[in-house]
Structures are given as structure tokens and as C-alpha cells.
Amino acid sequence: MENLIALAAEPAAWAALVTLIAMEVVLGIDNLIFISILTNKLPEHQRSRARRIGIGLALGLRLALLGTVAWIVQLTEPLFELFGHGFSWRDLILIAGGLFLVWKATKEIHHSVDPDPAPDVFEGKATQTFAAAIGQILVLDLVFSLDSIITAVGMTEHVAIMIIAVIVTVGVMLLAADPLANFIHDNPTIVMLALGFLLLIGTTLIAEGFGAHVPKGYIYAAMAFSATVEGLNMLSRRAKRKRDAAAAGGTRAAG
């Protein structure tokens, strides 16, 4: 308790906490997009519960990993060398998670653009099961949680700060989950953009696993730019619909 009070009195600790929360929230966007797309394929009455469970699993995994920080640090030690690069457990997990994300995003994109897709939803019943959705969320939760904790360990040595940052981040994710998922569901073009983001994130994870460091700032700047352009397109389409509706109303009135 005394250690916590002493830590709270340090300005450097508060600066580390704010920085870590901001970083964790940004990193959590990847996980949230994946959860939103996956749960939107479930029957409507299951979606919100699946999101809460998925985000709850993320919290549990991150807190559990924080309890094994010493072991987590060892995951960055090389296991073997191939093509001049030493691969660690972290690298292998990132590569596996990236491949899974690329496969999932590619599959969803193919389903969206296929002119004659196999029926995925019929009579309100989705082929995507609740258990399958939770299982896939758990896989990506593990990858994102591991990457997040390793990044946090590199920013501060105080586990208490990491725990507070994780709890705050997961709280933000819980608040944003339903609005984000509903927004993606109501705007079909956003679905394709989000899948493109997942493809980009998966490729980045694979590159990181092979030792090619990609600055996160470039990735999120590209995502923000793409989202801004799509937002302008949405405003343009909305304005066009209003103009068309007004023109149609004027034509009926004149008739």
C-alpha cells in the first residue's frame, strides 16, 4: 500500500500511466475492429453478449500475462536462427496470429465480393456459431494481449501502472464496442474498410515476427487517413440522397 502511495506521488509515474493508457487504447482498436466484424455475423440477440465476453477475455488474458512478466520477457529470447534472424516465441506467436488475421480478413472479403456466395444467414440463423466466434476472438486476444504487454513492459517497470492502464483500456473498449459494431453493421462500405485494416494489421504482425519493424505510427496514420476519406464519401453520399429526395419532392409537387 505504501508503495502505491509513493508511486502516486511521482509525476513520472503519472506521465507513464497516461502514455501507456493512450498507447493501449490505440492498440486496442485492432482487437475491437476484429471483435466487431466477427460478432456482427452472429444472430442479433447474441452480438452484445459475445462482445462483452470477448473483451472480458482480453482483460483476463492481459491481467494473467501481467502476473507472469518475468516469463513474458523471456519470450523475446531467440529459440533458433533462420535466414540470419533469431526467432523467439513472441515472433512465432505474432506470425501465427498475423497469418490467422490475414486468412480471416481474406475470407470475409471474398465472401463480400463473391457475386454468388453460399447462403451464410437464413431465416435469422447464422452459420457462425457463438462458440466459434468466441474461440476466434480468444486466439486474437492472446496475440494482441501478448504484444500489448511486451510493449508495456518496455515503457514502465511498475506492474501497478500496467494493471491500471489495462483496466482503463478495457473499460474504454467495453463502452465503444456496441457503437462501433453497430456503425460498421449499418455502413457496408465501412465493413470493407475495416477488413482492409485487419489485412494490414495481419501483414504487419507477420513482418514483425520476421524481424522487420514497422513503426505503429505509420500504420495508424494510414488507417486514420483512409477512415477520413471514407467519412467524406459517406457525407457526400448522404448529401446526394438529400438532394435527390428534395428534387423528387419538387417534381411531385409540380405534378
Are 132 and 238 in a shared domain? no
Q: Mean pLDDT throughout 159-187?
A: 82
Distance CA 62, CA 166 (A): 7
Are 188 and 251 in a shared domain? no
Q: Is the pLDDT of residue 1 over 70?
A: no
Are 252 and 178 in a shared domain? no
Are 161 and 238 in a shared domain? no
Confidence of residue 4 (pLDDT cuts 50, 70, 90): low
Are 231 and 124 in a shared domain? no
pLDDT of 210 reads 85
Are 141 and 186 in a shared domain? yes
Are 238 and 131 in a shared domain? no
Chain-wide mean pLDDT for the chain? 76
Q: How many CB atoms lie within 10 A of CB 123?
A: 4
Q: How many CA atoms lie within 13 A of 72 on its CB side?
A: 22
From 29-43, 112-126, 186-200, 213-227, the region with the lowest mean pLDDT? 112-126
Structurally, how many domains does the chain consist of?
A: 2
Q: What is the rounded end-to-end Cα distance, in angstroms, of the chain?
A: 79
As beta bridge partners, residue 86 has 81
Are 110 and 149 in a shared domain? yes
Q: Look up the domain containing 248 and give its range.
A: 215-255
Are 14 and 137 in a shared domain? yes
Are 59 and 165 in a shared domain? yes
Place of cell 495481419: 202
User: What percentage of the chain reaches a pLDDT higher than 90?
Assistant: 0
Are 77 and 169 in a shared domain? yes
